[in-house]
Structure 1
Amino acid sequence: MKRIVPVNSSGDLKSFIDFPHTLYKNDKSYVPELFIAQQDMLTPGKHPFYEHSEVKLFLAYEGEEIVGRIAAIFNTNHNAFTERNDGFFGFFDTINDQETVNLLLKEASGWLREKGADTVWGPVNLSTNDTCGLLIEGFDRPPVAMMPYNAPYYQQLLENAGLVKKTDLFAYEITTESVNDRSVRLMDALETRLKRSGIVIRPIDLKKFKEEVVKIREVYNSAWDKNLGFVPMTENEFNYLAKDLKMILDPDFCLVAEKDNKLIGFILGIPDINQILIKIKKGRLLPTGIFKLLFGKKNIKGLRVLTLGVVEDYRKLGIEACLYGRVIKNGRTKGIKTAECSWMLEDNYLINHAIEQINGKLYKKYRLYEKAI
């Protein structure tokens, strides 16, 4: 007999976070999330998301064994920005069993209806500014930093439960061997041309990190405001993310475009720390995980380019090509072998074409689902 139990204690939360470790214990592509980061993300008062929105966590049991989990997420800021009544589900994991999935979605949807939602979509953890999407293609490789992973059977289970495609998210892989050098070769000429217009490309200044973060947030909230599912990040949310990223940030992969001391674009690449996390059992840094993280960073050969944005009035001037070109050039110098550009909306033809032009290969697809509730 299966039953759904709300997460009400620290012990329940630990079980919620640890369930995927058991589910994927024999899956070589699974990368455990850091326990402390997940704990903070799912605890009101520790993550700034809860300053404006609510989350309810549920576990599915069969007897005394956990067989699934789900988070129901009511994002007040998203609904205010989009003028909709959406609910979200996330942190979704399950055994290959339709009854379990149906029960989890029913419980999450019921809670969201009580909050006023008439649609549920996901998976999203906690918003589209965080990890989101269901992996539907590309199961043969582990995910890169801050990208999700799930078993292939999830897709059929969700579709059997009545969820339908909302959109697909693309992940492209670029290797140093196959990359088209055109953007690198043209970079100097493009930058010279941009300078004549007063536009400069430079690395982020870590000595003025707080000031830089304020400027980058303005560009982020401006450049992505028309994207599906986008919701502006609050100051506290952006600072929270920036604080975490600063620990692994390399200025050679975080570049900004500036005109008259005003930021008009930026690109952010981060080392693929999943190459280390995959070796850290159950995402615990203690007692030995922290040493794997600290000493393994120098051996990382992968990069994830997770954001590239230029404010609307400055697009199609070559800024994007310069940012990409500089990251590629710096990556080669530092021994990076592969880079993933993710995620991209399937209908973002401009940026997808730009990646394909430098021989980026579409190698993973993720899907967002929706359903009326």
Structure 2
Amino acid sequence: MSIPPPPGPHQPQEPQGQQYPQAPQYQQGPYYGMPYQPWGQGYGSFNRPAPVNGFAIASLVTGILCFVPAVGLVLGLIALSQIKKRGERGKGMAIAGSVLSSVGLALWAVTLSTGAASDFWEGFKEGARDNSSLSLEKGECFDSPGGMEGFTYDVESVPCVGRHDGEVFAVVEMPGGSFPGDDKVTEVADDKCYALQGSYALDAWALPDTVDVYYLTPTRQSWRLGDREITCVFGHTDGRSGLTGSLRNDETTLDADQVVYLKAADVLNTAMDSAPAEEYVEDDLPGHKAWAGRVADALTEQAGMLRDHRWPARAEKPVGDLVEDLEAARKEWALAAEAADVDAFYEHYDTGYELIVPEQSVTARKALGLATTPPSYGDSGDGSDSGGGDAGIEV
């Protein structure tokens, strides 16, 4: 889930002309070119000593490192054979490399038999996860060196009260197995993150119009280290300006009355969001009638939740008035669900829709201390009590 930092002043320039996309590259430190040609061997030397066998050097180095002990042993045996035939130097290095490699090979065998290698690898993967952007938790805010667009190779956790690039609102664990591909990971992230934003920000009216949904996803490389987490994030729509203050409004930050009201409103929001794909009723009257039936059922449930709750004195009348509107709207939506033709559908739909437009709930919201400015719905035509963007920009 990381990408390289932007090109530095020492990195080679791309040739002019046709450009081809390249995978992200990693490098340690700046790139240094070779500004001068090395001196040539213009003159031979007298009494030149015998060269040192390259396999002997490789065997010694490999044996000391003990990363690949079996290779060091093989290189040592090859070196001894070549030294004998060619009269080269390096016999001592070849023998030392072979001995060290043999010892390393024995240690590896013991390690594997006791399960220590498995413990080491699991510890390595855990350390990699703990030091990656996937270690972010729900409710945590962070800064990303490259903002919220493209790839990110590192993040820094910062307090939410100040300026920050993103705020984590959910973490989704993907199933194990082989890497499903970037397209599949993005599809899962898109579905899960947009579905989960409402559980973190129950009152979408409180989300600024400049907030959008982003997500951090595993790459093929991080997947090999055990990375399975999709991190769902709120960020600024332009990916650079950042946010100030936490956007969290759920059971941890709201009172019981506010939570009941918002959960009841979400019942209607979910039904409104289930509208058929065909925008015009004429193109799918059965689909719109079924949708109207779902809305009518949701209105029944929402009105019941609001009616059954004991509200504080300041909110009793506003919420009661809202319940009356919801019940009147339910009748109209139920009639739309039974409409014999398009004209009859529109007649009841128009009346029912006007009874649930967001402005109808402003008074009740004000009495409960909730946001009172309806969000911008764009061209969605959504008459629900909750808004939210439809961005889908990925990180």
TM-score, length of structure 2 as denominator length = 0.21
Larger radius of gyration, structure 1 or 2? 2
Larger relative contact order (C-alpha < 8 A, sep ≥ 6)? 1
More helix by share: 2
